Amino acid sequence: MSSSRELQYLEYTYRNNRPTTGLLNSIFMTTVNTAARSLVSVATTASTPELASRRWSASDHLSFASGLLTAAAEKALVPASAPSSSSTALVKYSGSADLGTMVCDGVDVPSVNSLGRALCHALALMNEIPVTSRKYQFAMGMAEKIMEENAQSCNVELLDVNRVALASSFARTTTRLHDSLKRSRTADEPVGGLPLRLVSALPLGGYVASYVRGVSTCINTVRSLADMTGNLLSQSRRRESALVRAGGFQENEVELAVEKLAEELLWMTEKLRRYGAVEEGIKRWSYASGLASLSLTAAPRVQGLLVKISALLIGEMARDGTQVPGQVKFRLLANWLPLFSHARLGLAFPVLTGYERVEVERAIDKAISTLPALDQEILLANWLQDFSVSATEWPNLTPAYDRWCNSTRQFVM
């Protein structure tokens, strides 16, 4: 192995320090001879007594100038310092951040950061490659293989590689999903239409906005009933797929990209839970207030995926072994509880089973019970407002609301 490595080093050294070719050598020697002849001619003219008194002609000046130029060219062609003859001195440390290895005295020293960069690279490729490409599954398989082998090693540093790479990819995908939803909303928003947030800022605008949301939810429920027959949904999907194959409209492409990012985000959330980094996912999800606001008007399939992500993270947040600050719990519940009430989850294909919904309600109740009384009041007041105008009966946080009322009453008494 050592002899093979030395041969590789020698080959690299020869390739990067190859001697000059015959043509370059010929040009170099011709330049040197010309400069020497010109300078010798000028020196001879100056040293001869009978020629020294004669004034220089134009040819003498040209000869002297050409000699100086050729001497300068000679100095430029000659390297400043000769390279070392040691093969180990020729192969130096490469500062490239992509390689992640250090070559020193003929020994490769691999770095844990190299695996982290490789995993981040594979996860980033998942965001870029279209889901219809067969290379998408290849990139996902490579990322899963790296993470699984790191987990099987039971090494703390390798486990940290999984956590850091997944947390970074989770944050990047969340940002990309937010931007894609924002572009989709801008494309679908009619000219002159005011967002509900502006309406809510007006006096008594909160009631108007809630009424509009309630009407929209009723309309979307009727659409879900129509989708249950399967005819309308299948026809629209055929039209969308035909438009995409033909070049389609930009709106359809944006919707497909949004759904792809949401599915990747759900996949990363499950990996965060598997490899013990769910606390980082909970923290980052609590800061996604912009995404939570845009999710209220997203497509039903995207809303369903975001509901799954939120339900999974809330369930993990309510576990006894999960260490999450109270502010993070409050932010996550305040941002994502409205989606549970206003999401168009569909009737033909429920996002969560009945058992899963009960478990999510228990997790929300447990998480709220650990917060201060003022935070409980804010969360439960917002839930009551959303639950009163929504068409669904989930999540039903009546037990948590009654418990808060009783605890407040006992405090006063």
Whether 121 maps to a domain, the answer reads: no
Instruction: Clarify whether residues 209 and 75 are in a common domain.
Output: no
Whether 185 maps to a domain, the answer reads: no
Whether 258 maps to a domain, the answer reads: yes
Token pair recorded at residue 316: 């993990």
Q: Look at the chain and report how many structural domains it folds into.
A: 2
Q: Any idea which of 2-16, 221-235, 249-263, 367-381 has the lowest mean pLDDT?
A: 2-16
Pairwise CA distance, residues 64 & 145, whole Å: 72
Whether 176 maps to a domain, the answer reads: no
Predicted pLDDT at 210:
57
Question: Please, are residues 381 and 334 in contact by the beta-carbon 8 Å criterion?
Answer: no
Q: Which of 56, 82, 108 is the C-terminal boundary of a domain? A: 82
Whether 104 maps to a domain, the answer reads: no
Residue 74 pLDDT exceeds 60:
no
Q: pLDDT grade, residue 276 (50/70/90)?
A: confident
User: Which residues, other chains included, contact 66 with Cβ-Cβ below 8 Å and sequence gap of 6+?
Assistant: 34, 38
Whether 388 maps to a domain, the answer reads: yes
412/315: higher pLDDT: 315
Whether 146 maps to a domain, the answer reads: no
The angle subtended at Cα 333 by Cα 330 and Cα 336, nearest 5°, is: 140
> In which domain, by residue range, is 247 found?
196-412
Instruction: Clarify whether residues 210 and 78 are in a common domain.
Output: no
Instruction: Clarify whether residues 200 and 74 are in a common domain.
Output: no
Instruction: Clarify whether residues 202 and 331 are in a common domain.
Output: yes
Indicate the residue type of 25: N
The beta strands (E) that lie in 23-146 are given as 101-104, 107-110
Question: Please, are residues 398 and 406 in contact by the beta-carbon 8 Å criterion?
Answer: no
Indicate the residue type of 124: A
Going 386 to 388 to 394 to 397, the CA torsion angle's sign is: positive
Q: Which residue has the tokens 């995908």?
A: 173
pLDDT in tens, 168-195: 999 999 999 999 888 877 655 544 444 5
Indicate the residue type of 7: L
Whether 127 maps to a domain, the answer reads: no
299/217: higher pLDDT: 299
pLDDT in tens, 6-27: 444 444 444 444 444 455 556 6
pLDDT in tens, 289-305: 999 999 998 888 899 99
Burial class (CB in 10 A: 0-12, 13-18, 19+), 101: middle
